[in-house]
Amino acid sequence: CVATVKKFAATLTEDVKKDFKKIEGEFKKFCKGTKSKENRF
């Protein structure tokens, strides 16, 4: 779980990190591409 969040955070740009709505959208995109245990998160 923590590793997945760290991977996701590493993909964000500074612009996205400043806007909660953008973070939410990027997180949904990120989760669509995950597999196995990470997908359940």
**Dihedral sign computed on CA atoms, order 39, 8, 15, 13:** negative
Query: What's the average model confidence in pLDDT over 22-41?
Result: 77
Only one residue has tokens 């806007």, namely 19
Q: Chain-wide mean pLDDT for the chain?
A: 82
Residue 13 has pLDDT above 60, yes or no: yes
Domain ranges of the chain: 2-40
